Amino acid sequence: MKLTTILGIGVILSLITTMVFFVKSASNVNIVEYILVGLVLILIFVSTIIMRKRAKDIRADLPVKDELTRLNTLKSGYFTFIAIIWITVGLIWYNSFFVDNFGVYQLSTEQALGFIVLISGVIFFGLYFYFNKRPK
């Protein structure tokens, strides 16, 4: 348990360090990159909360995953998958319709795909907490 906690803290610290170096070294960081960094920070924060809760459960000799948590994880994954399909469709519209007609910032392929991965993580954790708060 101790080793897992130390490893988790190590991963979180290295992620934060990477983020700091990325923002400091990037010459022209635009709004999209700030959003991506913000999403990463949200994910780090949420992962820390989950890790703390799991460590507490282990210390109290409680099961980390019970039947309800399993079901909530499955439900969160179900809705997140549907959400990322629609987010991807939305990004296609954004890059074709909104960029052409309103002259908004055009995303690069890496930015768009990175956004999908990060926002899906945020949605997944959001739904996970929502279902755990309201089990019915």
Partner 1 sequence: MRKEIRSNKKIYAKLAIGILLASTLIIWAIITGIKNNNIIAGSFMGIVALTIIGFLIVYAKRSFTSVRQGLPIEDERSKKVLLHAFTKAYLISIYFILALSWASDDWIHFEDVSQGLNISILGMAIIFGLCWVYYNNKGDLDKVRI
Between helices 31-59 and 2-25, what is the axis angle to 10°?
170
CB of 103 to partner 1, least distance (A): 16
Tell which residue, 5, 4, 39, 48, has the closest CA to residue 19.
39
Q: Which two tokens stand for residue 34?
A: 């700030």
* Contact call for residue 120 and partner 1 (CB under 8 A): yes
Figure out which of the listed residues 35, 47, 54, 88 binds partner 1, where binding follows CB under 8 A. 88
Structural contact between residues 111 and 135, judged by C-beta atoms closer than 8 angstroms? no
Nearer to partner 1, 6 or 105 (CB): 105
User: Of 98-117, which residues contact partner 1 (CB under 8 A)?
Assistant: 106-110, 112-114, 116-117
Q: Token digits for 65?
A: 């995953």
Q: At what angle do helices 109-133 and 67-93 cross, to 10 degrees?
A: 150
Q: Does 82 bind partner 1 (CB under 8 A)?
A: yes
Q: Where along the sequence are the contacts to partner 1 (CB under 8 A)?
A: 65, 70, 73-78, 80-82, 84-85, 88-89, 91-92, 95-96, 106-110, 112-114, 116-117, 120-121, 124
